[in-house]
Amino acid sequence: MGIDCRVYVRTSDKLPPDAETLGDWVDIMTTCDVDPPRATHIVDIPGRYYDETYCNGSWQHICPVLMTLIRAPNVERVWYGPDTVTEGELPPVCSIQRVLDICRYYMNGEYWDNANERD
């Protein structure tokens, strides 16, 4: 058991992001009332969450999905976080800078330093 990825998006036209550009291993679902306000879709990336505080996920698989979503013409906003946020709490908005910060952390090798500290 662990913390999984959770990605929400809001599209300008209410159509899902282009699944073909994201890859066939990613599932796209329509959101429900408990999701971030005005989010239109959930993008399910199989596997664990990854950031500077939780290094169990596969950033090399998560990052291209986030990059594709952020640059997609019909995507207005992306939220990326763990699937364990407290009820009423929103996952953080995922900006270009956030992706770059996590990439910097991953590429500097800090992932490998913290990999043995898994919970």
The whole-number pLDDT of residue 23 equals: 75
pLDDT digits (tens, 9 = 90+) for 24-57: 778 888 876 666 778 899 888 888 888 888 888 8
Regarding pTM above 0.85, the answer is no
3-state SS record for 1-70: CCCEEEEEEEECCCCCCCHHHHCCCCEEEECCCCCCCCCCEEEECCCECEECCEECCCHHHHHHHHHHHH
Note the pLDDT tens digit of each residue in 45-100: 888 888 888 888 899 999 999 999 999 999 999 999 887 767 667 788 999 999 99
